[in-house]
Amino acid sequence: MLWALILGIFAGLIFGERLSFLKPIGTGFVNLMQITILPYIVVSLIVGLGKFNPEQVKSILAKAALVMLSIWVIGLAVIWCFIMTLPAHDAGTFFSPALVAAAPEIDFVKHYIPSNPFASMAEGNVPALVIFCIALGMALISNQKKNRLLDVLEVVGQGLSVISKKIIAIFPIGIFAMTASTAGTMSAEELSELQVYWVVVLCVGVYLMLVLLPMLVAALTPVKYRDLIMVMRNAWITAFSTGNVFIVLPVITEGIKDHLRKIKQSDENSDHIAEVLVPIAYTFPSLGKLTTLIFVSFAAWLTGNQIGFEQIPNVSLSAMLSYFANVHIAIPYLLDILRVPADTYQLYLSMSVLTAKVVSPTTVVYIFAFVFLCIFINRKQLHLKRVRSVYYLTLLSALLPAFMLLSFTANNYLGKQTKSADEAIANMVISDTVPAHVLSYVPKAYQSGELSLTNIDVIKKRNLLRVGYLVDNVPFSYFNQKDQLVGFDVSLAHRLASDLGVRVEFIPFKKPQLATYLNKGYFDVAMSGLEINITDLQNVRFSDKVLELQLALLAKDHDLKRFTDKSALLTLEKLKLAHMEYAPILKQLALQNPKVQVSSINNLQSYFEHPDQYDALVISAEAGFAWSMFYPQFGVVVPKGADLKYPVGFAVAKRNQDLLSYVNSWLTIQHTNGHIDKTYDYWILGKGSIQKQTRWSLMDELEIDPNTLIEKIKF
- For 63-107, the pLDDT digits (tens) are 888 999 999 999 999 999 988 887 755 555 666 665 566 655 556
pLDDT value, residue 74 = 93
Instruction: Give mean pLDDT, residues 384-405.
Output: 89
Distance CA 462, CA 472 (A): 28
Instruction: Give mean pLDDT, residues 288-301.
Output: 82
Most confident of the following: 246-250, 269-273, 521-525:
521-525
pLDDT value, residue 347 = 60
pLDDT value, residue 276 = 82
Instruction: Give mean pLDDT, residues 506-514.
Output: 91
Q: With CA atoms as reference, report the closest residue to 636 among 104, 91, 89, 95.
A: 95
Per-residue pLDDT tens over the stretch 554-569? 988 778 778 888 777 7
pLDDT above 60: residue 576: yes
pLDDT above 50: residue 495: yes
Instruction: Give mean pLDDT, residues 303-319.
Output: 74
Per-residue pLDDT tens over the stretch 635-669? 888 888 777 889 999 999 988 899 999 999 999 99
Report in angstroms the alpha-carbon separations of 90 from 80, 201, 343: 21, 19, 14
Contact 530, 650 (CB under 8 A): yes
Distance CA 715, CA 710 (A): 9
Instruction: Report the chain's C-alpha Rg in angstroms.
Output: 31
Per-residue pLDDT tens over the stretch 540-558? 999 999 999 999 999 887 7
Length of the chain: 715
pLDDT value, residue 709 = 47
**In CATH, what number does 550-647 get?**
3.40.190.10
Name the residue with higher pLDDT: 347 or 592.
592
Name the residue with higher pLDDT: 223 or 26.
223
pLDDT value, residue 328 = 63
pLDDT above 80: residue 631: yes
- The overall average pLDDT reported for the chain is 82
Instruction: Give mean pLDDT, residues 376-400.
Output: 87
**In CATH, what number does 2-91+115-417 get?**
1.10.3860.10
pLDDT above 50: residue 360: yes
Output b/e per residue, 52-91; b: 16+ Cβ within 10 A. beeebbeebbebbeebbeebbebbbebbbbbbebbbebeb
pLDDT value, residue 210 = 92
pLDDT above 60: residue 346: no
Contact 491, 679 (CB under 8 A): yes
pLDDT above 90: residue 28: no
Phi, psi of 630, rounded to the nearest 5 degrees: -80, -30
pLDDT above 80: residue 318: no
Distance CA 18, CA 150 (A): 51
Name the residue with higher pLDDT: 596 or 355.
596
3-state secondary structure of 616: strand
pLDDT above 90: residue 169: no
Give the whole-number percent of the chain exceeding pLDDT 90.
Answer: 24
pLDDT above 50: residue 713: no
Instruction: Give mean pLDDT, residues 387-403.
Output: 91
Q: With CA atoms as reference, report the closest residue to 651 among 660, 642, 643.
A: 660
3-state secondary structure of 228: helix
3-state secondary structure of 695: coil
The residues pairing with 305 across neighbouring beta strands, listed in sequence order, are none
Q: With CA atoms as reference, report the closest residue to 575 among 593, 587, 560, 591.
A: 593
Q: 343 burial class (0-12, 13-18, 19+ CB within 10 angstroms)?
A: buried
pLDDT value, residue 494 = 94
pLDDT above 60: residue 448: yes
Per-residue pLDDT tens over the stretch 179-230? 787 777 766 555 555 677 888 888 999 999 999 999 999 999 999 999 999 9
pLDDT value, residue 321 = 65
**In CATH, what number does 425-546+650-683 get?**
3.40.190.10
pLDDT value, residue 715 = 46
Residue type, 337: I
pLDDT value, residue 565 = 81
For the chain, residues classed under CATH 1.10.3860.10 are: 2-91+115-417
Distance CA 36, CA 158 (A): 11
Contact 269, 377 (CB under 8 A): no
Distance CA 428, CA 466 (A): 23
pLDDT value, residue 359 = 86
pLDDT above 80: residue 301: no
